[in-house]
Every structure is written in structure tokens, then in C-alpha cells.
Amino acid sequence: MSDSLTKLAYQTFQQGKSYFGVAHKTLSTQLTQWVAPQSRPERQIHSISPQQLLILQQKLNAILEVDWQDAQNGVYPASILFDNPWEDFFRYYPEVWLDLPAIWNRTQNKKYQDFSSSIDTEGYPSYYLQNFHHQTDGYLSDRSANLYDIQVEILFNGSADAMRRRILAPLKQHLSTFSNPKATRVLDVACGTGRTLRFLRATLPQAQLYGTDLSPAYLRKANHLLSELPGELPQLVQANAEALPYLDSYFHGITSVFLFHELPAQARQQVIEECFRVLQPGGMFIICDSIQLSDSPEFKLMMENFSTMFHEPYYRHYITDDLIERLKTAGFQNIEQQVHFMSKYWIARKPQ
């Protein structure tokens, strides 16, 4: 297939994911107003103006173009542009709808730390025991792990993977300076279901990959999805990112995607310091997370309401937090920032 046809296929693919996200959110909003009009009063967000919609569309088009160009430039194979968990989508999408009554009930009764009796909550930090995104059983059930990727793609209108992939170009460029690719070690902190690790494997086929997460359910899901890939299976470990179970100066690169907005301030700092500890001198640490107020002040109300709309109790502090200062406090230097669509990136280096 020619490059022009491949690009058209990719644009059509992304447009379909975007339309699906919009359609789902529209239908679920209408259903909520019809079935449970009083169940989520705090989730009423201000309307987005036509100008804001235009800005969002321009930002979305821009990240998709960067995504395409990175594939064209050989950062990663074009095939991962079409990597989507279709089997999970058809299997689990009905459960997204079936989960809505439980979400409405918890929201109406303000039960934001509600877990089923079958879920073992012992040993986890208190800030983690939340129904983030109004997820049933938070991040501690297999059902939550099965629905997560679908729900995040719906939230970002099909652009979540494109945002994840923005960590790949700077990391690959950094690791290209090492003479033995098979000896390079890369850790993904809070790896979740393994989406970022899938992209890391496609981009760095010879590297030794590692992943940590607090949720055993999400690690089971990640292990299942990653076992489908050729090559060496990433080593997955259940661990709190505030106390990583690795030796000092062990990794050449560390990534963390969509974690920091779900951490209270003190935990954010501790995770950064742990990543500094286990990173080799000269190593690179890349954070991908939500944009902050300083990046898009025109979306101030939308960001401020996001914390209640999707139950993100630490998000309001995050959007004004100075992560550059936190990285410098830990010892990182030469810190770069990038913004793509609704995500922000910090690319930091540990001094030689």
C-alpha cells in the first residue's frame, strides 16, 4: 500500500474512533438525563464554545499528523498506528453500559471509595483506594482492567494511544546512543494494561522491558495482552512506584503515562525521586500526563470540572503543580516540555 493510501487509512481509522467516542458520550449523557437525572448533578460541565471545539479539533489534527510522521520517519512501524484492542471492544463494550447503574448509584450517594466485599484492599496506600473515573472497584478488579482501555479511548475520542506514543521518539533517540540495544533496560511505571509497553516493544524490539503497577488485576491483563507479541515478554512486577523494587542506577530509560494526576503531591515527589534513584547516570525519564492550566488557559473551566466529572480527587492540584521544580529537586537536569493535544510531557535527564 502506498504512503498516501496508508495515511488515508490511518486518518479514516482515527476518525472512526473519534466519532465512536463522541457518539458514546452523547448517548450516555442523554440516557443519564432520562434514567437518572438527579444522580450526577456535580457532573454537569459547562458547554464548550464553537471556538473551543475548533481549537480542540486543530490540536487533535496536529497530534495525528505528528503520529503519522513519526511512523514515516521510522520511529516505530506504521502497523502500530492501527493497533487497537478490537477483540476487547466487541467483548466488553456492552459491560460499559451495564456498569452505568452502579456508577449512578455511587455518584448519587457520593461513595467514591466504594469496593465490593470480594476485593482485598489491604496494603494499598489510602490515596489509591478510589473509584477513579467512577470505575467499579477502582483499579482492583479484572472487570475494571477489561474496561479501562475502552473507557479511556472514549474519553479522549480515540486519541489516547496517539498521546501515549509521543514518548517514543525522544526515548528512542536517547537509547540510540548506546552501542548494545540488547543491554538497554526500560521501565514503564504504572504500566496498567500494558498499552505503553506494547508500543515500546514495537519501537525497541531488542530492549529489555519492565513494567510495574499496583493492581494485580491490571498486571494480569497486561501479561495476557503482551504475551500476544513476538519477542521477549516484558518483566511485570506488582509494586508501589513510591518504593520501586530495583537496584540503584539500573535502567537506561523510564516512562510513566497518565499516572501523576492520580497522585497526591507528596506521592508525586516520592515517585519522581524513586525514578531518579533507579535510573542510570545519563538516563532519561519521560512523563506523559494531562495538560495543565498554564498550557491551555482557555480550557480552565473544563479542567477544573474534570476532577468532579470523572472523580479525579488530585487533579485540581496537579493542573497547577510545578513538575519541573519537582524534577529538579530530585536531581534531574536538561528538562524539556512538550504539549500534544490534551497531554503534556516532561523529558528529563539524570546527570552523568
Full 3-state SS string of 208-232: EEEEEECCHHHHHHHHHHHCCCCCC
User: Is 207 within a domain?
Assistant: yes
Tell me if 343 is assigned to some domain: yes
Contact between 232 and 264 under an 8 Å Cβ cutoff? The reply is no
Q: Kindly state the cell numbers that stand for 87.
A: 477483540
Q: pLDDT tens digits for 308-330?
A: 888 899 999 999 999 999 999 99
Task: Please indicate, yes or no, if residue 107 is contained in any of the structural domains.
Answer: no
pLDDT, one tens digit per residue, over 234-249 is 999 999 999 999 999 9
Contact 333, 352 (CB under 8 A): no
Is 200 inside a domain boundary?
A: yes
Please enumerate in sequence order all residues whose Cβ is within 8 A of that of 55, keeping only pairs 6 or more positions apart, or say none.
298
State which residues form the domain around 217.
Answer: 160-349
CATH of the domain at 189: 3.40.50.150
Whether 315 is covered by a domain: the verdict is yes
DSSP secondary structure string for all residues of 98-140: HTHHHHHHHHHTT-TT---TTS--TTS-GGG-S-GGG-TTTTS
* 213 falls within a domain: yes
Q: How far apart are CA 159 and CA 258, in angstroms?
A: 13
Count of structural domains within the chain:
1
Query: Is residue 125 included in any domain, yes or no?
Result: no
Residue 41 reports pLDDT greater than 70: no
Predicted local confidence at residue 42, as pLDDT? 45
Q: What is the pLDDT of residues 154-203, one digit of tens each?
A: 889 899 999 999 999 999 999 998 888 889 999 999 999 999 999 999 99
In this prediction, residues 25-29 reach a mean pLDDT of 76
What is the pTM for the complete model shown? 0.94
Q: Judge whether 168 lies within some domain.
A: yes
